[in-house]
Every structure is written in structure tokens, then in C-alpha cells.
Structure 1
Amino acid sequence: MLEIPSPKPVEQLRVLVIDGQTLVHNAIKHALEPMGMTYVKSAENAYYALRLCETHSFDVFIVSFDVKSDKDGFNLLEEMKFKGYVHKTSTVIFLSADTTQELVNCVIELEPSDFWVKPLDRVRIQQRMKHILTIKQELFKVQYCMDAGEYSTAIYHAERQLQDATLEHYHPRINRMVGDALMLLYEYKEAEVFYRRLAQRYKYAWVQIGLIRSLLKQNKYEEATPLSKILLRRNDTRFATYDALAEYYIDKEEYKKGYDVIKKATELAPRNLERNKKSWNLARLNHDREGQLAATKSMAKYAKNSIHDTPEFSLNVVRATLDFATTVGEMEANRMLVTAERHIRELRDNTAMSGELRQQLDIVEARVANLRKDKRKAEGLLSDHMSTEPLVSVEDSLDKMKAFHEIGYREEAIKLLEKTQSQVESDSFIGHVMREYLSQEKEERKNIHFTSIELAEMAAGHYKQRRLSPAFDLLNQALTLTPDNHNFAISLLKIIAHISAEERLNDAHQTSANFCLDALKEAELDRTQKAKVDEYCNAIERAL
């Protein structure tokens, strides 16, 4: 069995206080010294805090959100966890004068021991610290096992503590760790029974969240639905419920529902890069170019100055901008291209250029040139990068495939896409969605050779010449690429209405009409658009 050390006595605990205000450091030191906590180091910024962690080990971390440096406390705490300076057995206290729900949601995900609201009071500091350290000492064995990934051992020690009447005050916290361990061991049925039993004794939000997660993991959606409706109405459970539902929908390949739910979770806690990445991939799978751009911008914003910060985040914003530009009108597309070109210049000017990054900037510039109708320049930029072997990064390969396809090298695009598919593992949430997205891309790139705007323009030309059948086919393709474009849907209804006046509508016509009506149900249409939709629908209904 895992050998577990004894927790340190309070007098031996090493404390690191990270805050930009000297008064805060003094207040905390003066409050802790009478408690016997005399080893207290101070850091006024993230840089010095990390330097201290490199040469000293600490047991207690008191981290302010507002520190004097390029990193905020959230990024700093995340980096200290990532580098192994902070463990589950560590005591972590987050300080902030900001108590907005968005920040609180983000902090909760980092699982601090406590959240202190500024300004600080000496008596309150001592009361909270004594309370937290007592809990840490009593629960040290279980937390140590959880930290080591020994979940069965954690349950063993937890069950022994739950039989100790003197620890009754800590039983809710112990039970919470038991529930977490059961879920991590994939013991979902046992976890359900466990949480149902706890729900008869406790009203804590985590009990309800644990129950809904255990139900959804067993595909008991009908049983989970009434509970999820209740939890989505509560501020303290809404965020975690959205996360649980999103995971369920993706497992069931209900990607539209999963995307709708994860967007809501991301709005509630926007700093989580992993969740933003999920939102980005689901946006692509659902052809939401605007949502794709929003997700990449959010990732770039919150990755800046963090442990995750790389040029790749800025590059992905450029890529998403170009994807979006292929779906909008000329004036809007030109504005986006100007923005993309500015970002490309910044990356070239401000980044130490690796060969891989230089190649990717050539590729995005080729895409820009092609969108500006300068095919010669686009081909010149791409000429040194014609290999169809996949690149190290799936995103790099995917962008290169798009450049091939947009400029006209369609066979090369499909070859590269097929090879890229083999790079993606499907045993994770993001990997599963990415494989589905690449399969979708392969099908669409084989069958659709133009952007949605180009398809709509060609459809308009055919319509003017009364060539209704090719206009119908082209607009169907445009809507496949941009299913939320209401103007395309209205135009397709108009074409179907005209076809109905000349011939009997077939199954394809009726299916497309229903798709358009579904797409327009929740659209904000003006009076003229509504009148046109009604007119076209009446004409179609008369023909059926």
C-alpha cells in the first residue's frame, strides 16, 4: 500500500504570499506569526514568485489575482500547478477584491482551499487560516492518495475516517473526495448509489452535480433531465451542469446540442483554455465560423503571458478570420483580411521565427492572397510547400489543406487531409470531435469546390437565367457550408417556390425546404424578410 508521510505541524509550514501591495504582505505576516507560522516569504510579482518556487518549497500559497506583473494571479496559480510547485496537499488561498461570478467560476476550477475577499482583517485571517489548516491536517491522508492517483487507497482511508465520530464535522468533505474517487475509477453505478444516499443527508451543490454526472455517464438521460433543469436554474450549479451535459452530448455524437451547451459554460468561465478549445472544435464541426473566431480570440486572450502562451494562438486567430471571411460579403471580407494581414505582420516582426512558423505564415499569406483574387501571388507563396506529407501540428496540416483546396490543388488537399486523419487519436473529447470534423471536411472538400459566397454568386447567376436546377444545387451546397446564413435559406426557398410553379417537387426539394424553415425558426428577420418567407412557403404548400 502507498506509504503516506505525516502532515507537517503548523510551526514547520512554509508560506509564500504573492501580492502587489506591501500592506497586504504585512497584514498577513502579522496575523500568521502569533499562530507559529514564522517562515513567510513575500513576492510582489509573478516573476519573483516563480523564482522563489524554483529554489524553495512551500506548503501554503496565498495568491492575489491582482499582482504587479504581466501575469495575473489566475495565470500564476495555473503555472505553479503545472510546474508541480502546488499539490493537492498544498494549502492554496486566492485573494481578490473582485467577486464577480465570472472570476469566481474560473477560480473554482483551480480548486483553491479558500477564497479571501479584500480588504483583509487580522482576526478573520487567523480564524480562516486555523480552520483551513485543521481541515488539511485531518484530511491529509486522503488528499495525499488523491494527489498520487491512488483512488482506491483514498477511498479506503476515507471510509475509515467516516467511521470516526470525532471527525463528523469533516464528513461532508471526506464524502466529496470519495465521490470524486469513484468517478475517477469509472465506478459510475456505485457513484450514483453513493450520491443518492448523500442527497438524503446533504443539500450541498456538489452532491447534486455528482449525481447528475454519474447518471449521464450511465446514459440515464431521462432520469437526469428533471435534475438538470433544477440545477440550471441555480447560480452555484449552472456552470458544472452545462459541462456535464456537454460531455454527454458529445459522447452521443449530438454535436449541435453539445456545442450550444458548451458555449454557455464557456461564457460563465471564459478562462479555461481546454473548454475554449472544445468550443472551437465544436464550432468548426457545426460550421459556425463566427463562433470559431470568437473561441480562438478567447484562447489567445487568456493564454497571453500564461504557461500556455505560444504564437500558435495568434496564428489560429488568423486562420479562423480567413475561414470566416470566406462566408461573408466583399466589404466585410476585406475588413477581415486587413485585420489578418496586420496579425501576420505582427507575428513576423515580434516572434523568433522557426522554420515551421515561417512556413505556416507563408501558407496563411497564400490564403489571404487567394481571397484577394491574386492567384499568382498565392501560388508563389505556396510553391515551396507543396508536399502532401502531414506536418507535426494537426492545425498546421489542416490550414495547409485549406490553402491547397482554395487555390485549386484539390487532389493534394484530399491526400493531405487523409494522411492528417491518421494523426488524430479519438480517445479524448477533443480527439473524438476532431476526427469527426476531419471526416466532414474530407466529404465536403471532395464534393464542394468553392466557398459559400462563390456558390451563392454562381447560384444567383443561374437564377437570373432561369436555370433553377443548378441554382438549387449550388445554394444547397452553400447552406451545407454555412447553415446559419439566413439570406441563403430565404434565397433557396425562393428557388424552390419557383420550381414548384413549373414542376412537381421531389423529395430533395421538400427536404431542403424543411431545412430552410428549421434554420429560419429562431432567426431575427425584418418585416420584409418575413413577408418573403411567408410568400414562398405559401407557394410551396399550394404545389404539394
Structure 2
Amino acid sequence: MDVKLASSCKVLIVDDQVLAQGYMKYALEELGMRNVIYVDKAASALKYVEEEHFDLIVCSYNLKKDQDGYYLYDQLKSTNALPLSTAFVFISADTNSELVHSIIELQPDDFLAKPFSVRDLDKRLSKVLKRKRALRTVYQLMEKDELNKALDEVENFLTVPGNAEFFPLALKTKGELLLACDMTEQAKDFYRAIINVQPFAWAQLGLVNALIKLDEDEEAEKLILQLAFKPDSQLMAYDLLYGLNVKQEDFESALETVLMASEISPRNLRRHNAAIALSRLTHDYESQFEAAKRIVKYAKHSIHDKPQNYINVARAGIDYAMTADDKDTADLLKQANDYIRQFQIAFPKAELQEQMKVINARLLYLQDEKERARVLVEQLTEDSLDTDDFEDLLDKAKVFHALGLHERSLQVLDEIEVRCKRDPEQGDLFMRYIRQEKKEKASIKQTPKELNNSAVDYYQKGELDSAMRSFRQAYTLMPKNASIALNLLQAIVMKAKEQGISEHANMLVKRCIGTVENGQLNEEQEQRYIRVKSFLEEVV
């Protein structure tokens, strides 16, 4: 390593293993680095980064104390606490596929697999530090939000032949700056020019971003699907496809996309939160429950581990149980109670009595203990609407509605909507969900199971119009439930025998068939479906 570069470099080492720290101390001294600080906790690293500027941070991916390296780097990036001029390098003895995908997604400046020699360290760190030093002026302007000046600087940098070694990085930075400066047409032309010379993944991803900004969605989607098959761009392609699906209000596809990305890199909590938001919009209660459980699992040993995570799993489990078949309800309630116990063990001093009253009232309702549920609900304080968080308020709206307190339920949803407008951080998906909840709860007074039971009762009495109305409302709330879809299909068939099938009913039939064929039926339901489908094939 260049002696001048090494001696001027300020380094932060984040590792909680004494032997690893000792080896790094020896290796860095061999390279001529003297200004080095060692810490063993992510919290200590955060404090140092806030107070001082470092040229290099070398961090163990597998920290065991308070927060691991993944979440440390994710937090530094998401809060813009890590200067662009600082090089960040991960080290880890583990190289499993989940870790590798996570690191590819985070895009640190480098990753070193243990064990490594002083020579390996010299070669890799020299390369990283030279890159950072070469573009330091550009990065400093970007850190000051002087993006147009940074773009001019990178243009000048690209005119100097002596900088040729760093041209790929400079070109990538130029594309990012063009997009950041809203020079989208220029960015599109720039990325296409790069791809014509060499199809870098970063240039293709940049082109997709430009195309989406310019509403050229069809071309963007074609390119995304190509990138989704390449390991180095797969996760970023999924994220772009998710954004495109949301933009087009295709929330079913957006959920499918974000779930696929979550399987590849499960530690990304933002994706799990996006899955929850989308599963609510699409009434996919199972996906909501699974995403909530993953947040608890992967937030452990990080600053993201909090009581609300466990409470939200219990809530999602109750939502799922409200719509599940009776045979699944007991297991879902058991899982919800398990997470409540985990929360009480992990956070024994947490003050969440009000929230627990709501959860217990919902659990009692599911066990047909409606009077006991009402007693608990009546104990809730009226003046907490201003202080409850959004999830607490939402849970209250649900229990009020289930117990027939429809006006109180809608008042709470109104309060959430008003607060959402003042708090843009909640995002468009949450606001859409609240408006959807208001609309459904205003028009549909019964719970999903009550709707299905009353619809079956109407059907057996021969009151076909009432049965159809109730089955449709139940299917609106439970579009993934194969049993409900089959009941609705059968009612449509009975109606069709009298009046034929309208165009609207025909579209509903196709949706119901999709639900039934992607779901599970028992033997009796299978036989019913065969008869219903046989009739439909003759008529439709």
C-alpha cells in the first residue's frame, strides 16, 4: 500500500472477537496504518461515525452484541450517516448464499472472507481507498447536496486520461447524478450509450429507473425481467418491478414480487413491511401473518427488535383467524398467544396494557366470548386516540367493528386518515388501506365468518339474492378463501339457471375459479366444484 495513503487514512474497526481485533491491528500496522480505532459494538460505531470522519470502516458482518453488521450498515445508509467518501468493507467467516445475497444487495465497497492474509488485505484495501480518494471531490459535493456541481466535476474527471482506471466508477456516478438532477432524458440516452459499449448491470438498472420516471413502463418491464435472471442484479430488479407494479396499482403482482425478493434476502425488514402493506390491500391474511413473523425473527439482535413487532404478529394472526376455516382457527390463536408470551418474556417492563386489552378482546371474540370481549373494550380509555400509534388505532377499529360498534370503528378510521395526511412517512399504501377499510366497514357490517354463515343460511332457504349478496361481501373480504369462492360460484350457477350469466358475473366466475384452483378443498367440496365447473363449461 502507498505509504502516504496508509499514513493519512483514519480507520474504524468494528469486531467483537478479541482474536480478530488482534489480527487486524497487526495487519493494519504492517500496511502502515496508525490512526485506527477499535470498537466491539454497533452502537459504539454509530457514535463514532456521528462525531468523526473516517476514510475506512472495516466491519464484521456477524457481530453478536446489540446489533449485527448488516443492520449497522443498513442504518448508516438509510439515515445518510455514512459519507460517500468513506469506504465500508465487510469481513466474515461465513459465506452462505443468504449472506452473499444480503451483501450484494447492500453494496458495500468490498467484502473479505476470513481467513485472509496481510497481502490480501493490502491488495483489496488499496483498491478501495484509491477509488474513494480519486473521486473524493465529487463525493464531497454530493454530500453537500450540490449535485449540479458534482455532475460538472465528474464530467471534468472523465476528460483526464490519467483517471482511466476509475472511469467505470465515474460513469456509474455520472448516471446516478443525472437521475438525481432530474435530467431523465439525458440519463436514458447516457445509459443506452454505455450499454451499447458494454452491458454493465448498473447501466441497465439505471436505464430502468429512467424509463420508469419517463412512464415508459412497457420497455422498463421487459428489461427488468431480463435483469431478474442475473445474480448480480436480481434483487435490485425485483425492487424495481415492485415499484413498477405499485405505480400501476397492480398490488397482487407487487406482493408476489416482494415475497420472491424476501425469500432470496430475508433480512431486509423494509421488504417484509412492504409485504404487510400489500397483503392488507389484497386481503392476503396468510402473507401478512408470515411477513410479521419474519420481522420478529430477523429483527432480533438489532435495534429493530421491539415489543410492537411481537404485538403485530399476534394482530396479524387474529386477522388471519377471523377469515380462516374453523379447523385452522385454533392453531392460529395458539400462535398468536405464543408471540404474546415471547413479547412478555423479551420485554417484561413494556407498558402496553391498553393494546393487550384490545388483543385479548379480539381473541375472546374469536372464541365466541362476545360479552367478555365487550367488557374489556368498555375499559378502553376514550382520550387515547391522540396518543395511540397507527397500528394501535387500527386494532381498535377492528375490535369495535367485530363487536357491532360500527360508528366507533369508523370514527377511529377517520382519525387514522386525518393523522396519515399529516404524516407522509406512513406512505401511500397505508393510506390506501385505511380508505379501503373505511369503505368496506361502512358497507359491510358483518365479519367474514358471519357473512359466510348467513349466506349459507339464505342459500338453504332458497333466498338466492340475499345469499348472493352475502357471499359476494364475504368474497370481497376473503378473496383467497377457496371455500368462500366455491360457495359464491355455486350461488352464481343457481342464478344462471334462472337468468343466464351477465358479463359482470362472468368476470366474477373467472376470479372465483382462480381462487378455488389455487386453494385447497376437502373431498365434498371437490365433488361440488366438479359439478359447478361442468355446468359453467356448458353455459359460459
Establish whether TM, by shorter chain, passes 0.5: yes
Q: Residues 450-529 of structure 1: matches in 2 within 5 Å?
A: 450-506=446-502, 509-520=505-516, 522-523=518-519
Cα deviation, 1:62-99, whole Å, max 9, x if unaligned, reads 11122342432212333455677632211211012333
How far residue 46 of structure 1 moved from its aligned partner, in angstroms, is 4.0
Aligned equivalents of 2:349, 2:528: Cα separation in 1: 53
Matching residue of 1:3: none
Q: CA contact under 8 A between 1:87 and 1:147: conserved in structure 2?
A: yes
Matching residue of 2:103: 107
**Residue 396 in structure 1 maps to residue 392 in structure 2:** yes
Matching residue of 1:15: 11
Aligned equivalents of 2:201, 2:486: Cα separation in 1: 46
Corresponding residue SS for 2:419: coil
Matching residue of 2:238: 242
Q: CA contact under 8 A between 1:250 and 1:429: conserved in structure 2?
A: no
Cα deviation, 1:419-478, whole Å, max 9, x if unaligned, reads 211222499696111111111111111122223222222222333333333222222111
Q: CA contact under 8 A between 1:322 and 1:336: conserved in structure 2?
A: yes
How far residue 270 of structure 1 moved from its aligned partner, in angstroms, is 2.1
Identity of aligned residues (%): 30
**Residue 384 in structure 1 maps to residue 379 in structure 2:** yes
From 223, 226, 246, give the equivalent of 2:222.
Answer: 226
Cα deviation, 1:329-351, whole Å, max 9, x if unaligned, reads 23421222233234334445653
Corresponding residue SS for 1:92: strand
Corresponding residue SS for 1:198: helix
Matching residue of 1:42: 38
The range that moved more, 132-141 or 183-192, is: 183-192
Q: CA contact under 8 A between 1:500 and 1:539: conserved in structure 2?
A: no
Aligned equivalents of 1:426, 1:403: Cα separation in 2: 25
Q: Residues 314-463 of structure 1: matches in 2 within 5 Å?
A: 314-348=310-344, 350-351=346-347, 357-385=352-380, 387=382, 389=385, 391-425=387-421, 431-463=427-459
The range that moved more, 110-119 or 464-473, is: 464-473
Corresponding residue SS for 2:38: strand
Cα deviation, 1:371-426, whole Å, max 9, x if unaligned, reads 12112221122113263845442222111111110111001111221221122249
How far residue 501 of structure 1 moved from its aligned partner, in angstroms, is 3.4
Aligned equivalents of 1:245, 1:522: Cα separation in 2: 23
Matching residue of 1:147: 143
How far residue 49 of structure 1 moved from its aligned partner, in angstroms, is 4.7
Q: Residues 155-304 of structure 1: matches in 2 within 5 Å?
A: 155-304=151-300
- How many residue pairs match? The answer is 536
How far residue 173 of structure 1 moved from its aligned partner, in angstroms, is 0.4
How far residue 275 of structure 1 moved from its aligned partner, in angstroms, is 2.3
How far residue 268 of structure 1 moved from its aligned partner, in angstroms, is 2.3
Corresponding residue SS for 1:236: coil
Q: CA contact under 8 A between 2:225 and 2:237: conserved in structure 1?
A: no
Q: TM-score, normalised by structure 2?
A: 0.91
Pick closer, same or farther for the CA change 1:527–1:377 going to 2, 3 Å.
closer
Q: CA contact under 8 A between 1:27 and 1:120: conserved in structure 2?
A: no
The range that moved more, 116-125 or 517-526, is: 517-526
Paired letter, 1:280? I
Cα deviation, 1:260-317, whole Å, max 9, x if unaligned, reads 2222222222222222211210110010001111121222222233233321212111
Q: CA contact under 8 A between 2:188 and 2:207: conserved in structure 1?
A: yes
Corresponding residue SS for 2:323: coil
Corresponding residue SS for 1:171: helix
Paired letter, 2:375? G
Aligned equivalents of 1:446, 1:42: Cα separation in 2: 59
How far residue 220 of structure 1 moved from its aligned partner, in angstroms, is 0.7
Cα deviation, 1:137-196, whole Å, max 9, x if unaligned, reads 101111222233322222111111011110011111011111112222333222111111
Q: CA contact under 8 A between 2:105 and 2:235: conserved in structure 1?
A: no
Gaps (5+ residues) in structure 2?
A: none
Aligned equivalents of 1:210, 1:81: Cα separation in 2: 19
Paired letter, 2:131? I
Aligned equivalents of 1:336, 1:531: Cα separation in 2: 28
Matching residue of 1:4: none
Q: CA contact under 8 A between 1:62 and 1:93: conserved in structure 2?
A: yes
Aligned equivalents of 2:51, 2:203: Cα separation in 1: 40
Cα deviation, 1:33-83, whole Å, max 9, x if unaligned, reads 233202333334546655766776543211112234243221233345567
Paired letter, 2:321? A
Aligned equivalents of 1:240, 1:82: Cα separation in 2: 16
**Residue 73 in structure 1 maps to residue 66 in structure 2:** no
How far residue 229 of structure 1 moved from its aligned partner, in angstroms, is 2.7
Corresponding residue SS for 1:86: coil
Pick closer, same or farther for the CA change 1:187–1:294 going to 2, 3 Å.
farther
Q: CA contact under 8 A between 2:179 and 2:187: conserved in structure 1?
A: yes
Corresponding residue SS for 1:385: coil
Cα deviation, 1:497-527, whole Å, max 9, x if unaligned, reads 2333344445554343232123345456788
Pick closer, same or farther for the CA change 1:456–1:83 going to 2, 3 Å.
closer
How far residue 542 of structure 1 moved from its aligned partner, in angstroms, is 4.2
Aligned equivalents of 1:425, 1:73: Cα separation in 2: 35
Paired letter, 2:82? V
Paired letter, 1:538? S
Paired letter, 2:67? K
The range that moved more, 71-80 or 412-421, is: 71-80
Backbone CA RMSD of aligned residues? 2.8
Cα deviation, 1:194-215, whole Å, max 9, x if unaligned, reads 1111112233211111111111
Paired letter, 2:366? L
How far residue 101 of structure 1 moved from its aligned partner, in angstroms, is 3.7
Q: TM-score, normalised by structure 1?
A: 0.90
Aligned equivalents of 1:168, 1:91: Cα separation in 2: 20
Corresponding residue SS for 2:88: strand
Corresponding residue SS for 2:218: helix
Aligned equivalents of 2:220, 2:83: Cα separation in 1: 33
Matching residue of 1:313: 309
Paired letter, 1:451? T
Paired letter, 2:515? A
Pick closer, same or farther for the CA change 1:525–1:358 going to 2, 3 Å.
closer
The range that moved more, 312-321 or 157-166, is: 312-321
Matching residue of 1:5: none
Pick closer, same or farther for the CA change 1:385–1:68 going to 2, 3 Å.
closer
